[in-house]
Amino acid sequence: MLDKVADRFLNDGAITMAPDLVQSRRHRLFNIGRILSQVASSNLDDGLDPLQRMMDDAADGVSKYQLILAELARRSEKMNATKNVLNGRSC
């Protein structure tokens, strides 16, 4: 699909561009394509995209709210332990 968009963008007969402008646009499109392909190929560790993960979590009855609360509690414990160490108290 990106190839079709790039071709249309660069080779539209209705628009006349200087060769250096065409080259500049070609370079920018290449960079955009590279970024999009990196994003498309970056999956989570289990290979699921975020939408699929959300659908699976919902089917399994997993609450995002509960996961967030658990993560906040873990971070709070870690922060308190760090403060205790810095203040000279044992954990």
Whether 51 and 90 map to the same domain: the answer is yes
Residue 91 contacts residue 85 (beta carbons within 8 Å):
yes
Confidence of residue 1 (pLDDT cuts 50, 70, 90): low
Whether 50 and 89 map to the same domain: the answer is yes
Distance of CA 61 to the CA centre of its chain: 25
Nearest to 36 by CA among 7, 9, 5: 5
17 versus 56: the higher-pLDDT residue is: 56
DSSP string across 6-62 = HHHHH--TT----HHHHHHHHHHHHHHHHHHHHHHH---TTS--HHHHHHHHHHTT-
pTM of structure: 0.35
Q: What angle do CA 61, 67, 70 make, to 5 degrees?
A: 135
Q: What angle do CA 79, 82, 88 make, to 5 degrees?
A: 140
Whether 23 and 51 map to the same domain: the answer is no
Whether 23 and 55 map to the same domain: the answer is no
**pLDDT tens readout for residues 33-80:** 788 777 766 554 556 677 887 788 888 888 888 888 989 999 999 898
